[in-house]
Structure 1
Amino acid sequence: MTRVSLLSSPFLLGFDRLESMLERAARSADDAYPPYNIEQTSETSWRIVLAVAGFLPEHLSATVEDNQLVVAGAQPEDKTRNFVHRGIATRQFQRRFILAEGIEVVRAGVENGLLTIELTRPKTQSVVRRIDIVTR
């Protein structure tokens, strides 16, 4: 059985990558850990804040690969502690955010159990390019 693509119109050339990004976003939407907020701080800037209580900066990583911001956390197991009850989640996680073309990560930092990642899209100038039409 063939799958019908939403972006299969002959007028939408080269959008297959966009479709695969939408599919990846739909798959990762099910994971709820760690909780996060996304806020728009200006017309061209955003802030992602993840609740990472208990994680030290060296236990966290943020990378950009193929227009995806990948935030991961992993804590080493502390075998010296004997918990009677363990209700604070410190499990490993990997959270992916798909970034639009041109979005840049400006900075990231941890404070009071919150990992904050600042994003921006620099202003670009519109370029009009004339294409010469020749006879063959």
Structure 2
Amino acid sequence: MNRYHVKSTVPILRIFDVEKAKEFYLHFLGFSLDWEHRYEEDYPLYMQVSLGECCLHLSEHHGDSSPGVQLRIHIEGIETYHHFLSEKKYKFARPGLEEAHGFKEVRVGDPFGNRLCFVEPIQSENLSTN
């Protein structure tokens, strides 16, 4: 019998510009800024952002991550979230709502080459068996 329980994953995404990161993650995607940390004033920033149960670490530190990561973020109410993003008319991204492999998906790339794919399973309308 296992006596441990894995609770969650917190990916670290590489960023290169704090203002662009905040514009994208906070103002466009709707994440909240949980905290920021710098060892000293002129050191790279490390911060945590969250949206619902999704928590991400964003880092300017060279060795923390490589740009170009792809994340799949499970979401309930993807059509509402897509509408929320569309209403913003964000200059650098106008993601669509697509269906692929049994999921509805909203795909968007951040300014640093990372790709976020918000997904929700497509519910089967015929769940009964005869």
Instruction: Tell me whether the two structures share a fold, i.e. TM-score over 0.5.
Output: no
Q: Into which bin does the TM-score normalised by the smaller protein fall? A: under 0.3
| TM-score, L = length of structure 1 | 0.27
TM-score, with structure 2 as normaliser = 0.27
Based on CA coordinates, which of the two structures has the bigger radius of gyration?
A: 1
Which structure has greater helix proportion?
A: 2
